[in-house]
Amino acid sequence: MVNFSLKGKLALVTGASHGIGYAIAKALYEAGATIVFNSSNEESLARGLAAYAAEGIPVRGYVCDITDETAVAALIARVEQEVGTVDILVNNAGIIKRIPMHEMRAEEFRRVVDVDLNGAFIMAKAVIPGMIRKGHGKIINICSMMSELGRETVSAYASAKGGLKMLTKSIASEYGLYNIQCNGIGPGYIATSQTAPLRQVQPDGSQHPFDRFIISKTPAGRWGTTEDLAGPAVFLASDASDFVNGHILYVDGGILAYIGRQP
Ligand code: NAP
Ligand code: GCO
């Protein structure tokens, strides 16, 4: 029987107070993992802890900005002291700024890349030594459609997520010998707070044009839900994927395969 169980494993999911990170953390818990997560601030952490408690999911949460290497080192040391060595890292935390590139300030571009790419590097660098000591590890980077495609106003985000795809392949290449597998999940368009502006009903009550566009580009004819990512995350976190390495698993309802529905 293929082993999808995460029993006995410790998973750290970044930015998991809500959204995709929360759904992935819940799925890993339901597969047997112990869950720890971080938020960037106390308020979000408190909301996340309340949400897990409401569902009866025991978690430990910490405030930590993933772009702060000193804070991340302290986080991992604290997790190792309080819970154990991280077996599974899900680099989920991320931001987006939708600004036409010629209007975007360099510090805005830098911030997106700092969180979405450098943050994932910092987190992975912090957990790899423990994974080497344990003789195994799973790193799952949450990439994007924008790891493959561009679109207007998301130049920083696409640049970061494209880099995250290559960071995934780099970690897979450098640490495969230590029985560490690093893969990515590339969600399609998922209904979360991050994409809420793209689905907002127009002042005249009509559907957002981008909402209509994504539905026409998705064979399934719908936005993804955070629950659509649960199974792929459990698979990539489990022993069942021990020979899958450096792969980006697109969970996009078929967007990347489809020319789009005729209007
Ligand atoms: P979200 O609701 O905006 O959640 C993102 C999370 O990242 C927040 O919980 C936030 O933490 C955390 N975060 C941001 N900056 C951080 C920092 N410096 N340090 C620590 N945590 C930080 O977004 P989402 O839709 O769930 O997306 C989650 C991931 O999936 C992101 O990487 C996103 O790029 C990616 N993605 C999303 C979609 C989509 O359609 N929604 C599709 C493809 C990929 P707090 O607010 O709790 O502090
Ligand atoms: C956007 C969206 C996308 C999604 C996701 C798609 O503005 O185009 O926010 O970038 O977040 O990354 O996979």
Ligand 1 neighbour 159 (Cβ under 6 A): no
Question: Residue 67: which of 93, 98, 35 has the closest Cα?
Answer: 93
Question: Residue 183: which of 228, 132, 234 has the closest Cα?
Answer: 234
pLDDT at 2: 79
pLDDT at 146: 98
Closest ligand 1 atom to 93 CA:
7
Cβ neighbours, 10 Å, residue 198: 16
pLDDT at 1: 79
Residue 247: which region, alpha, beta or left (left: phi > 0; alpha: psi -120 to 50)? Answer: beta
- Identify whether 157 is a catalytic site residue: yes
Q: What is the pLDDT of residues 1-59, one digit of tens each?
A: 779 999 999 999 999 999 999 999 999 999 999 999 999 999 999 999 999 999 999 99
Task: Say whether pTM exceeds 0.95.
Answer: yes
Instruction: Choose which residue among 146, 159, 185 to substitute to test ligand 2 binding: the one with the highest number of ligand atoms within 8 A of its C-beta.
Output: 146
Separation of CA 263 and ligand 1 centre (Å): 32
Stretches in the chain below the pLDDT threshold 70: none
pLDDT at 153: 98
